Structure 1
Amino acid sequence: MFTGLIREVATVKGFSGSELSIKSKHKAKLGDSIAINGACLSVVKVLNDGFSVELSPESQKLLAIENYKNEVHIEPAMMMGDRFEGHIVQGHIDAIGTIKDIKNNGNSFDVFISIDKKFIPYIVPKGSITIDGVSLTVNDVAADSFRLTIIPITMRETLFKRYKKGSKVNVETDMFARYVSHIISHQSKASSEKNTLTWDAVDSISARY
């Protein structure tokens, strides 16, 4: 599990086949789980100045792989007893989004990201979302896109400063939105009442949490 708070912007040493080598200050151990641009990957080699992780063909197909060069966001998995900050992030990328526009508001930046419509139900206004591993709050949601507001320090200290119109990004939607949607869908199918939510169903969902 992760929090969506970037611990380091690390340097890509090389990406050959399925192995991605990272130069970092973080001292990884063999087998560690580390989120690289938001995707949970396992350390397969420990280097003098960093570590290597393996990206399967499936991972490479599902990720915005063009961002795995030059620099990347890294966040080691949480340890038991760590202070919980950010929000609950699994490191499982749902989709690749495309930046439609970035507007400089003077003291903040509005970032508009388009995404496949089927993921919109999992994106909640004022809810949480993770973009390339960065925990953010959703401001507005449209039919096939959403808007984020990035404060100057986040823009300055993350790879957002390099993104532009057309840039691809890894998107992980809110875990709880996915779970609730799945429960509602499952119960609707079981009762043959699609898109119907009863108070009994709400009570059942609440009891599970």
Structure 2
Amino acid sequence: MFTGLIREIATVKSYKNNVLTIQSKHKAKVGDSIAVNGVCLTVIKVNSDGFDLEVADETRSIVPAEKFQGKVHIEPAMQMNDRFEGHIVQGHVDCIGEVTQITKRENGTDFIIKVDPKYITYIIPKGSITIDGISLTVNDVYDDCFRITIIPHTLENTLIRNYKVGTKVNIETDVFARYIDHILAHRSSKNSMGWDDIDKIQMSY
């Protein structure tokens, strides 16, 4: 699990044969989970200046290769004794969005990001969303896009400062919205779990 708070902007040294090699100050261990631009990956080798991670076929089918090039956001998985900040992030990219509009404001910058309309259900006004691994708040939601406002501090300390119209971004929608939608969509199924079943499970503890 992650929080969506970027710990470092690292550098991709290479990406070939499903292996992503990262140059980073973070001291990783084999088996660690690390989010790279919001994608949860597993460390398979530790190098003197960073580490290697394996990129699964499912990940490659969703995330374009350009998101594993140049500078990238990284966040190690949350530890039991860590402060809980940001919001609950799984590191599972749902879809790729595209920046369609950037508007500078007095104390922030608005970004309009377009997504496949089927994912709009899981994007909630004033709710949380993860973009390239960053925990952000949604301001407005439209038919096929949404608006976020980035404060100067976030703009200066993340790769959002480099976004342009046409930039592709990794998006992880709200995990609770996905769970609730799945339960409600399948509650009529014979073998599905309904709210009564969930209540019974909770009562048993």
* TM-score (normalised: structure 1): 0.90
Q: Name the CA distance, whole Å, in 2 between partners of 1:29 and 1:37.
A: 19
Amino acid at match of 1:126: K
Whichever residue aligns with residue 4 of structure 2, its letter is G
Which residue of structure 1 aligns with residue 83 of structure 2?
83
Q: Which moved more, 1:61-70 or 1:121-130?
A: 61-70
Tell me what 2:39 maps to. Answer: 39
Deviations 1:92-132 (A, max 9, x none): 00000011111111310101100011111001000000000
Cα-to-partner distance string for 1:69-108 (whole Å, 9 max, x where unaligned):
1100000001112111000000000000011111111310
Residue 17 of structure 1: how far off its partner (Å): 2.1
Pair 1:51-2:51 in alignment = yes
Q: How many residues are treated as equivalent by the alignment?
A: 198
Judge conservation of contact 1:183–1:205 (CA < 8 Å) in 2: no
Q: Which residue of 1 aligns with 2:102?
A: 102
- CA deviations on 1:134-171 (whole Å, 9 max, x unpaired) are 00000000000000010011111101011110111100
2:185 aligned partner: 185
Please give the secondary structure, in 1, of the residue aligned with 2:69.
Answer: coil
Work out the CA distance in 2 between the residues paired with 1:56 and 1:181. 26
SS at match of 2:112: strand
| Corresponding position of 1:61 | 61
Structure 1's unaligned 5+ residue stretches are 192-200
What letter corresponds to residue 185 of structure 1 in structure 2?
A: A
Matches within 5 A, 1:145-160: 145-160=145-160
CA distance in 1, matches of 2:140, 2:126: 8
Amino acid at match of 2:126: K
Q: CA RMSD in A?
A: 1.7
Q: 1:205 to 1:111 in 2, by over 3 A?
A: farther
SS at match of 1:86: coil
Instruction: Report the counterpart of residue 165 of structure 2 in structure 1.
Output: 165
* Cα shift at 1:14: 1.2
- 1:141 corresponds to: 141
* 1:205 Cα deviation from its structure 2 partner: 9.1
Gaps of 5+ in 2: none
TM-score after normalising by structure 2: 0.91
Residue 129 (structure 1) aligns with: 129
- Would the alpha carbon gap of residues 127 and 206 (structure 1) be closer, same or farther in structure 2, given more than 3 Å must change? farther
Moved over 3 A (4+): 203-209
- Greater CA deviation, 63-72 or 162-171? 63-72
Between the aligned residues of both structures, percent identity stands at: 56
Contact 1:64 1:170 (8 Å CA) reproduced: no
In the alignment, what sits opposite 2:114?
Answer: 114
Cα distance in structure 1, aligned partners of 2:153 and 2:198: 37
2:11 maps to 1:11: yes
Counterpart-to-counterpart distance in 2, 1:100 and 1:206: 41
- Deviations for 1:28-78, whole angstroms, at most 9, x for unmatched residues? 000100000000000011000100101123212211321211100000001
Output the CA distance in 2 between the equivalents of 1:81 and 1:164.
38
